[in-house]
Amino acid sequence: MRRRERGTLTVLVAGLLLAAVPASAWRLIRCAPDSVKVGNVCVDRYEDSVWQIPLENTLLLRLVRAGKATLADLTAGGATQLSPSPSCSPGYPANFPQSGQWTPVLGSNPPSPGVFAVSIPGVFPSACITWFAAAQACRLSDKRLITNLEWQDAAAGTPDPGTDDGTTDCDVNSPGPVSAGSRSKCKSSWGAFDMVGNLDEWLAEWVNNSEGFCTDSTTAFGFGTSDFVCFSGDGSSHIPAPLRRGGFWFGPLGSGVFAHGSNVKPSESFNFTGFRCVR
């Protein structure tokens, strides 16, 4: 039993008073281990990897959907990571195409293609995924794609972009991606890793945009660094364009907490573009 008082949450179990704690502190512990609390949402702690999981392994599926699965759980449970950056091999199965129009595995209940987004450290995040497929991978794990507002909030305090010493700083000037969470200093004030660099990240929102025009955050916003802002164009070739944030491993100018991109189609995919889910 829980009794809410002004500013506190009193917890009663079997008639015994266990604690009277601030309600805000109680809410703080409700995010799953794979995520961090950012305001009133739980943001995945790591850039997501995509896994094909045998649907008969119901215990592992419960752990994934609860945000409690570990790399050891996935490996022991017969799961296979799909499309890790930069090789993007093995790719996504035929029943989980880049259009996001997945078909269920025969007999699956609830219906599922057996493909799930997981936030774990120690693996390369998955890439070569379209916006459509990324959005569905989040949904299949009982999550959704992060929004622009949520991303900006979650990135607060991440070095922008800072240096890249090759070991602890954000991965913004290297030959390729690094394992999720492996750069200890590339961590936001909320506790989210790799918001800057490593992989560019799809966001939920689309905009009506034009191709091929970039400026920098100082010009666009009046503050920040030289983070690229590819957020508008010359009006000659409008396309439906999802937002992307954070930049990727090649070149610090393209990465940062103010870096925006909206100059590619939702049907395109690259080995430097991944995604992040929220609950």
Cα 145 to chain centroid, rounded: 7
Cα separation, 116 vs 124, in Å, equals 15
58: which 2 tokens? 């119901």
pLDDT number for residue 17: 41
User: What is the CA 217 to chain-centroid distance, rounded?
Assistant: 22
Q: Please give the pLDDT value at position 271.
A: 97
DSSP-derived 3-state class of residue 29: coil
DSSP, collapsed to helix, strand or coil, labels residue 61 as helix
Q: What are phi and psi of 106, to 5 degrees?
A: -55, 125
pLDDT value, residue 16: 41
Which pLDDT does position 2 carry in this prediction? 45
Residue 79: per-residue pLDDT = 98
Tell me, what's the pLDDT at 51? 98
Q: Where are the domains of the chain?
A: 2-30, 44-144, 148-278
Strand partners, 49: 118
Sequence-ordered alpha helix ranges (H) in 112-239: 131-140, 148-154, 217-221
Q: Which residues of the chain fall short of a pLDDT of 70? A: 1-29, 209-221, 223-238
Give residue-wise pLDDT tens across range 154-184: 999 999 888 899 999 999 999 999 999 999 9
Beta strand 2-5 pairing with 8-13: antiparallel
CA distances from 124 to 27, 85, 150, 272 (A): 31, 6, 23, 11
CB atoms within 10 A of CB 114: 22
Could you tell me the CA-to-CA distances from 81 to 62, 87, 93, 160, 190 in Å, in that order?
18, 12, 11, 30, 27
Q: Provide the sign of the torsion angle of the four alpha carbons 154, 209, 85, 55, taken in this order.
A: positive
DSSP letter assigned to residue 90: S
pLDDT of residue 207: 83
Q: Is the dihedral of CA 173, 176, 177, 183 positive or negative?
A: negative
Contacts of 92 (CB under 8 A, 6+ apart): 50, 82, 83, 98, 115, 129, 133
Q: What is the pLDDT of residues 106-165, one digit of tens each?
A: 999 999 999 999 999 999 999 999 999 999 999 999 999 999 999 999 999 999 888 899
Task: Give the predicted TM-score (pTM) of the model.
Answer: 0.84
Domain 148-278 has CATH 3.40.50.2300: no
